[in-house]
Amino acid sequence: MKTAILLPFISLLWTSCSENNPLATQKCSPSTICTEELRTLSMRVIYPDSTPVALDDFQVLLLPEGKDITWSKSQESMKWFRNNGNYPIIGDTYQEYFPRNVPIHLLFKGYQGGQVVVSTEVFTTFDCCHVAWISGKRVLVVEPGEKKQ
């Protein structure tokens, strides 16, 4: 009897979380239960020896239109980003601006001395609760003296 009750529940849970679920593009249910955490997706920028790259600035652009959606940066937050080589791309605080379960195409650009030293495109999305990574590099390795156009 317990198996008969648990099996449909487990099946429902499995299909609702499946990446290949055709229902994943449906709107989120008001009864969806989410964790009470704020997630942020970041780009790790390092040198070949794994030390963090201290970028002078960075930019996150929404493609294809090129709209700048870079987080506001205080001196204190930039100090932390530089010390750790982790630069925020997008987070749960952006949920209200994007539809759910639709790929979001972003361009991350990192600058040193006014020149682009790293640049990469990534795809993210928002499920019913949080931001999620779809594809693209999460770690960028910068050769000393490297500049990109």
- The whole domain housing 73 covers 36-141
Within a domain: 21: no
Within a domain: 22: no
Within a domain: 18: no
The total number of structural domains in the chain stands at 1
What CATH number did the domain enclosing 46 receive? 2.60.40
Within a domain: 61: yes
Q: In this structure, which amino acid lies at residue 114? A: G
Q: Mind listing the pLDDT tens digit for each residue in 87-131?
A: 999 999 998 889 889 999 999 999 999 999 999 999 999 998 899
Q: Mind listing the pLDDT tens digit for each residue in 45-70?
A: 999 999 999 999 999 999 999 999 99
Q: In this structure, which amino acid lies at residue 18? A: S
Q: Mind listing the pLDDT tens digit for each residue in 5-34?
A: 434 433 334 344 444 544 345 577 888 888
- Please report the pLDDT score of residue 31 as a whole number: 85
Which DSSP category does 27 fall into?
P
Strands 131-135 and 86-91 come out as unpaired
Within a domain: 59: yes
